[in-house]
Amino acid sequence: MTESVMSPPSDDATKVRKIAAASMAGTALEYYDFSIYGLAAALVFPTLFFPQSNAFVGALASFGTLAVGYFSRPLGAVIFGHFGDKIGRKPVLVITLVIMGVASTAIGLLPTYENIGAWAAVVLVSLRFLQGVAFGGEWGGAILMAFEYARPERRGFFASVPQVGPAVGTLLGNAVFLLVTLLPEDDMLSWGWRVPFLLSAVLVALGLIVRLKIAESPEFTALKAEGMSAKVPLAEVLHSHRKPVLLVCGAFLGYGAFSIVALTFLVGYARNTQGVSSSITLAAILATCMVQIPVIMLGGYAADRFGRRRIMTAGPLAAIAGTLLLFWTIDSAQPAWIIIGYVVGMGVLFTSAYGAQPALFADSFEPSVRYTGMSLGYQLSNVIGSGLMPLVATLLLNATGTPYAIAAAIVVALAVSMACLLALVRLSTTAAAESKSPIGTAPAPITAA
């Protein structure tokens, strides 16, 4: 290691806010696309693409295609993380947004099993794979643009702004799908389900206009000017940063598992098993997303104000309580209780530490490999937590007959997340002390590879 060289963060608060907003806009569009796919997998894909299966096998097949998008995320993290660490954050974010928009729009134009038979499922899986590759490179870059523009004492808050993207994208996706579910069932299955996917083309065009106007991260620009970027970021990560990659993976495990079950699996379970209209659960998710937006940013602010250790201790415990509350209300089959379960359990309790995580993840890696390292850890977590959990949930429900078996699995995953989050706090605190920076707030030093 050579002597560290810190790039000055931006002093222009207005510019930082614009960068954070632009990062959030792109993340929101990516999550919109993922959200509508998850809802379609729960509500219409079993009928349209796997009609010759029984209900259980059809659900497994449909959620299997959902999982493909998560399995391909680490590939996107490696590919786009490499270029994000080599040529810059901004160009990668433009490319990933275009890929996601093209794939989503193509799904909206896809013929069903009735038209082309099994080829419909093959093309659907291929497009889903492409979505996952794009998404694997999106999240890390969006976080880093906001994180690296902000001053050290404000990085928790500004890194939380792109993390609002999932709530905004899910809000938008569920709002569109809620309107679709109000159609007569024949219309929804024939053409209505395509509308949310086709809208992606318009939304991506708007997102590109915003993203093309932002400048490259000043920290990356300084890093490149000093000639201190890693030659092969993935090799550097695997050689010297395996521990933080594994800790980031574990830290998000329970959060990814709960999110995907709440936003997709439970929508189908409430309708098919409990007899609760999809419009009720989708309306509950809409309300939840609106609540999540301020809670996420409050979490990032609290990490800056009160320190990460407190947030990472209390947050996962609150998420466990939120999980149990949501499953209890779903099991009650009472619409009013279900809305309360989503808004309080997921919107407040589960989300309490969500906004504080991105800055912690970014601080766990040197800037020269930060895009690759945090993206790889986060996306590996999504493979295990988000990608497999709907399948695991389907199998657990079929084997036990009770949704509480699923809740128990999520609680275990959240306990793992808590342990890993606290380990990351210790790791980043040590790095901050070694660089003689304020503990818990300063970025990791820029060093030569």
Structural contact between residues 371 and 89, judged by C-beta atoms closer than 8 angstroms: yes
Q: Percent of the chain, pLDDT > 90?
A: 34
Q: Lowest-pLDDT range, 216-230, 411-425, 426-440?
A: 426-440
The CA distance from 263 to 37, in Å, is 11
278-306 vs 165-181: helix crossing angle, rounded to 10: 170
Query: Looking at residue 17, what is its pLDDT?
Result: 79
Q: CB-based contacts of 133: which residues, under 8 Å, 6+ apart?
A: 72, 73, 75, 76, 79, 99
Q: Which two tokens stand for residue 440?
A: 């818990």
The CA distance from 265 to 229, in Å, is 42
The CA distance from 442 to 428, in Å, is 9
Task: Break the chain into its structural domains and give their ranges.
Answer: 13-434
Confidence of residue 442 (pLDDT cuts 50, 70, 90): very low
Q: Lowest-pLDDT range, 226-230, 305-309, 444-448?
A: 444-448
Structural contact between residues 24 and 161, judged by C-beta atoms closer than 8 angstroms: yes
The CA distance from 260 to 140, in Å, is 19
pLDDT in tens, 221-274: 888 888 777 788 889 998 889 999 999 999 999 999 999 899 888 888 888 888
Q: Which two tokens stand for residue 23?
A: 């990062």
Structural contact between residues 361 and 231, judged by C-beta atoms closer than 8 angstroms: no
pLDDT in tens, 124-152: 888 888 888 998 888 888 899 888 888 88
Compute the average pLDDT of residues 267-290: 87
pLDDT of 350 over the 90 cut: yes
pTM: 0.82
Query: Looking at residue 54, what is its pLDDT?
Result: 57
Q: Which two tokens stand for residue 263?
A: 């936003």
pLDDT in tens, 144-192: 988 888 888 888 898 998 889 888 888 888 788 888 888 888 888 888 8
Query: Looking at residue 63, what is its pLDDT?
Result: 63
Compute the average pLDDT of residues 40-50: 77
Q: What is the CA radius of gyration of the chain?
A: 21
- 13-434 in CATH: which number? 1.20.1250.20
pLDDT in tens, 96-116: 988 988 988 999 998 987 888
Q: Which two tokens stand for residue 260?
A: 């995907």
Query: Looking at residue 53, what is its pLDDT?
Result: 60
pLDDT of 436 over the 70 cut: no
Q: Which two tokens stand for residue 437?
A: 């920076």
pLDDT in tens, 398-411: 899 899 999 999 99
